[in-house]
């Protein structure tokens, strides 16, 4: 789900080259080690600010991946997506990181093998962002419930909900582009909840759904009821 420009702003963004480059004589391929730190703040309409849980990640890009712009883009994108910023801002962050790494690589002598970068950002979310996300989620959920009113809305049992399998999406099982309940896109590495019918959803989304209806929202597979 993309948020409007008014809902958040990347208030600060910097990329620092860390000291301590690893030197291995005779090694001519460069790898990239990146430390990502995202400070997150919620700003209320009256101007008061509250710190949110920060996001820290470490990414290591192998020499073969560093030589491919598309592969680097894919790896960095997976990390920056967790910041919950819109596509245009996320793309700007990614391109700045790639450009900085390539500029450093061009001036290094051939006996360097790893570039270390420290990427820091501060993202400020407005109160409208929280309200908008909640409103859209509730509208989608309510619409789905209303469409099912002709079918008895009976919740699934708590035990059947808790027994649902968790799956981490990777290249082999990433057949679904988004969660069918909230419509937010999946990304590689996310842990989803899998129904017996094999449809996958965000864990919170399908849990809330099954507490109201025992049907799969995609194929109407029936979960156990009391």
The reported pLDDT for the residue numbered 160 is 93
Please tell me which residue, 78 or 143, carries the higher pLDDT value.
Answer: 78
- CB of 115 within 8 A of CB of 107? no
The range of the structural domain enclosing residue 160 comes to 148-210
My answer on whether 38 and 106 are in the same domain is yes
The reported pLDDT for the residue numbered 35 is 92
Give a yes or no: residue 192 inside a domain: yes
This prediction has a pTM of 0.52
Please tell me which residue, 207 or 136, carries the higher pLDDT value.
Answer: 207
Give a yes or no: residue 170 inside a domain: yes
Give a yes or no: residue 215 inside a domain: no
Give a yes or no: residue 66 inside a domain: yes
Please tell me which residue, 1 or 186, carries the higher pLDDT value.
Answer: 186
pLDDT digit string, tens, across residues 192-204: 899 998 888 888 8
My answer on whether 123 and 178 are in the same domain is no
Mean pLDDT value across the chain: 78
pLDDT digit string, tens, across residues 62-105: 888 888 889 999 999 988 888 878 787 888 899 999 999 988 88
The reported pLDDT for the residue numbered 161 is 93
My answer on whether 55 and 119 are in the same domain is yes
pLDDT digit string, tens, across residues 16-64: 877 544 444 444 578 889 999 999 888 777 777 778 778 898 999 988 8
φ, ψ for residue 125, nearest 5 deg: -100, 140
pLDDT digit string, tens, across residues 94-124: 999 999 998 888 877 666 678 889 999 998 8
Helix (H, G, I), strand (E, B) or coil at 102: helix
- The residue count for the chain: 226
Give a yes or no: residue 225 inside a domain: no
What residues pair up with 9 in beta bridges, in sequence order? 124
Q: What share of the chain is helix, strand, coil (3-state, %, to 5)?
A: 35, 25, 40
Q: How many domains does the chain have?
A: 2
């Amino acid at each position: 789900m993309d948020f409007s420009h008014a809902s958040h702003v990347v208030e600060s963004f910097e990329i620092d080259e860390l000291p301590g480059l690893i030197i291995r004589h005779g090694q001519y391929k460069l790898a990239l080690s990146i430390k990502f730190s995202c400070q997150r703040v919620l700003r209320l309409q009256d101007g008061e600010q509250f710190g949110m849980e920060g996001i820290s990640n470490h990414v290591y890009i192998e020499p073969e991946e560093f030589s491919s712009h598309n592969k680097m883009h894919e790896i960095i994108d997976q990390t920056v997506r967790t910041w919950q910023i819109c596509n245009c801002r996320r793309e700007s962050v990614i391109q700045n990181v790639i450009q900085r790494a390539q500029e450093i690589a061009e001036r290094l002598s051939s006996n360097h093998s790893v570039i270390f970068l420290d990427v820091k950002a501060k993202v400020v979310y407005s109160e409208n962002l929280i309200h908008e996300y909640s409103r859209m989620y509730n509208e989608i959920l309510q619409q789905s419930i209303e469409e099912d009113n002709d079918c008895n809305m009976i919740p699934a049992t708590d035990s059947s909900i808790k027994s649902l399998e968790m799956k981490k999406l990777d290249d082999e099982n990433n057949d679904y582009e988004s969660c069918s309940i909230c419509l937010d896109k999946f990304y590689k590495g996310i842990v989803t909840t899998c129904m017996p019918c094999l449809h996958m959803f965000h864990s919170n989304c399908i849990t809330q759904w099954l507490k109201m209806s025992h049907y799969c929202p995609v194929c109407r597979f029936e979960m156990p009821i009391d």
